Amino acid sequence: MKLSIFGLGHVGLVYAAGFASIGFHVKGFDIDAEKIRMLNRGRLPMVEPNLMELIDSGTKQQRLVFTDDYHDAVLSSDASFVAVDTPLNEEEELDLGQVISAFRMIGESLRKAGGYHIVVIKSTVPPGTTSGIVRETLEKESGKKAFEDFGLAVNPEFMREAHAVQDFFETDRIVIGANDERSRKVVSEIYASFRCPKLITSFNNAEMIKYASNSFLAMKISFINMIANICERIPGSDVEVVAEGMGLDKRITPSLLKPSLGWGGSCWPKDNKVLLDLARSLGVEAPLVESTLEINEGQPLQAIRMAEEALGPLRGRRVAVLGLAFKANTDDVRGAVSRKVIKHLLERGARVVVYDPVAMDNYRALAESNGKTIEYAESGLECIRDADCVIVVTEWEEFKRITQEDYRRAMKRPVLIDGMRIYDAKRYSEITYRAIGLGPQ
Ligand SMILES: NC(=O)c1ccc[n+]([C@@H]2O[C@H](COP(=O)([O-])OP(=O)(O)OC[C@H]3O[C@@H](n4cnc5c(N)ncnc54)[C@H](O)[C@@H]3O)[C@@H](O)[C@H]2O)c1
């Protein structure tokens, strides 16, 4: 079977390379011509461990091709996967523009197609989208009937950036939403070689599983952050030990019980917001989702509060922010906590200097510095030099190697706020060390 992938971003590119590696012939299409040029020159448009090797192997074996011609992508394949983004717009509402544009293109191409073709939506979309706007767009543009002339399925994606290649090969589960027998059968065949539980269900259930999963995962982190904020007020308390004790319970598990300045990224913030809007539009209260978002909104302020407790007003203070990416091993700054921390610092008149091993360019492109300038350092050590305070925002290995002595020597006054709990408090006891969820010791 030959496949085409629409949207070569964090999900689509991994699937294009992954499917090619397990034997499919894949055509990857993206409207971003520069991205196609880069890929055809053997360059990766993002940071994702092991992805370049996978792409190289697919292109060398001539099973993976990148094209800027969507007709060619559809007409030379049997199935088209759509992995375009579904972001929030400026009004913080779901923007289905990329999805609609991709289905228009596929519909147009289906008009010319001869045999059976199946269209699979991998993008995260709310219940009712596939049976509604997706089906309508495809039928209108192609002049053909869904389930008779072409197949349609939903196949939500659960991979984690920075682990995406591993997650492709070792996924926990595959969810397939299909409302007709042939679509169910064809998508199941595509995934036949994957040894994991497969859940085959309706469009709406498949769409809802994705939102419910992301909301639950975010809730787990917001929960431990809430506990962290309580622990901080209790002498001798440490949320890391509390989390360890909780995680030993097999019903809880240690996964995601990691205190921080909040969760970010391109998915959880928008998916929780969309789930909340969906619940409200249906007349249902969703207080857990609301609180999950609320706790997360307040969490970056914990670092600001700690800095103010140690230094007083931040106006004119030099504050170093270590880490811009929303997590380590990616250059993605969409929804990153660093952006909120920096915004709060600038609002208080602090002088901000930042460093990230790979995400500096993406941050510059998205910088929301309210017209105020921030300084970009060349390394972690340069970033902390002469600072009044350092806030660790991203868990990069490079930052874990900065010692107490480095901080003491480089900083104007050594106030270290460990927003990710990357250091052992006992080894940083000779400087002012504050950490999320660590009570007075
Ligand atoms: N990033 C993740 O970790 C992740 C994980 C699971 C699910 N998802 C979901 O998967 C979807 C894709 O997310 P992403 O992070 O890969 O997005 P992304 O922004 O990284 O990539 C989207 C790509 O689609 C391209 N595009 C836009 N319109 C197009 C069109 N009409 N035809 C072809 N290409 C087009 C863009 O140029 C871009 O390269 C979203 O719905 C997201 O919620 C993302």
pLDDT single digits (tens) 287-314: 999 999 999 999 999 999 999 999 999 9
The CATH number that domain 214-435 falls under is 3.40.50.720
Nearest to 420 by CA among 303, 314, 333, 304: 303
Residues 123-144: tens digit of each pLDDT? 999 999 999 999 999 999 999 9
CB of residue 74 inside a 6 A radius of ligand 1: no
CA distance 132 to 114: 25
Atom of ligand 1 nearest to the CA of 164: 3
* pLDDT band for position 243 (cuts 50, 70, 90): very high
Ligand 1 neighbour 82 (Cβ under 6 A): no
CA of 67 to the centre of ligand 1 (A): 16
Please enumerate in sequence order all residues whose Cβ is within 8 A of that of 388, keeping only pairs 6 or more positions apart, or say none. Answer: 311, 317, 318, 319, 411, 412, 413, 415
Contacts of 312 (CB under 8 A, 6+ apart): none
Q: Give 373's pLDDT tier (boundaries 50, 70, 90).
A: confident
- Burial pattern 115-129, b for ≥16 Cβ within 10 A else e, equals eebbbbbbbbbbbeb
Residue 341 CB: number of other CB atoms within 10 A?
Answer: 29
Q: Buried b / exposed e across 242-267, counting CB within 10 Å, b at 16+?
A: bbeebbeeeeeeeebbbbbbbbbbbb
Model pLDDT, residue 367: 79
Ligand 1 pocket: which of 4, 5, 6, 11 to mutate (most atoms <8 Å of CB)?
A: 11
pLDDT digits (tens, 9 = 90+) for 325-368: 999 999 999 999 999 999 999 999 999 999 999 999 999 988 76
Which tokens sit at 113?
A: 């197609």
86 lines ligand 1 (CB under 6 A): yes
Q: In the chain, what percentage of residues exceed pLDDT 70?
A: 99
Q: Which of 4, 6, 8, 10 to mutate to test the pocket of ligand 1 (most atoms within 8 A of CB)?
A: 10
Spatial separation of the C-alpha atoms in residues 402 and 297, rounded to whole Å: 29
Residue 119 contacts residue 138 (beta carbons within 8 Å): yes
Q: Using the predicted structure, report yes or no on whether residue 370 has a pLDDT greater than 70.
A: no
Q: What is the mean pLDDT of residues 372-397?
A: 96
Residue 109 beta carbon below 6 angstroms from any ligand 1 atom: no
Asked about 383 being catalytic, the answer comes back as no
State the Cα–Cα distance between residues 57 and 45, nearest whole angstrom. 17
- pLDDT (0 to 100) of residue 369: 59
2-201 topology per CATH = Rossmann fold (3.40.50)
Q: Please state the atom number of ligand 1 nearest to the C-alpha of residue 125.
A: 41
Q: Out of 117-121, 272-276, 364-368, pick the least confident.
A: 364-368
Ligand 1 closest atom vs CA 46? 20
Q: Which two tokens stand for residue 75?
A: 């007409």
Q: Does ligand 1 come within 6 angstroms of the Cβ of 30?
A: yes
Residue 366 has a pLDDT of 84
The amino acid sitting at 121 is I
What's the pLDDT score for residue 371? Answer: 65
Catalytic residue among 231, 267, 383, 389: 267
Name the DSSP letter for residue 134.
Answer: I
Given a cut of 80, whether residue 149 has pLDDT beyond it is yes
Q: Output the average pLDDT for the chain.
A: 97
2-201 and 214-435 agree in CATH topology: yes
Hey, what long-range contacts does 242-250 have (CB within 8 A, 24 or more apart)?
Answer: 242/437
Q: What is the mean pLDDT of residues 32-43?
A: 97
Please tell me the distance between residue 7's alpha carbon and the centre of ligand 1 in angstroms: 6
Residue 194 pLDDT greater than 70, yes or no: yes
Question: Mean pLDDT over residues 25-31, rounded?
Answer: 98
Query: According to the model, what pLDDT value does residue 368 have?
Result: 63
Atom 10 (ligand 1) nearest CA: 123
- Cβ of 299 below 6 Å from ligand 1: no
Domain boundaries, the chain: 2-201, 214-435
What residues contact residue 224 under an 8 Å CB cut-off, 6+ apart? 239, 243, 256, 257, 258, 259, 437
Is 383 touching ligand 1 by the criterion CB < 6 Å?
no
d(CA 150, CA 200): 19
- For residue 441, what pLDDT is reported? 85
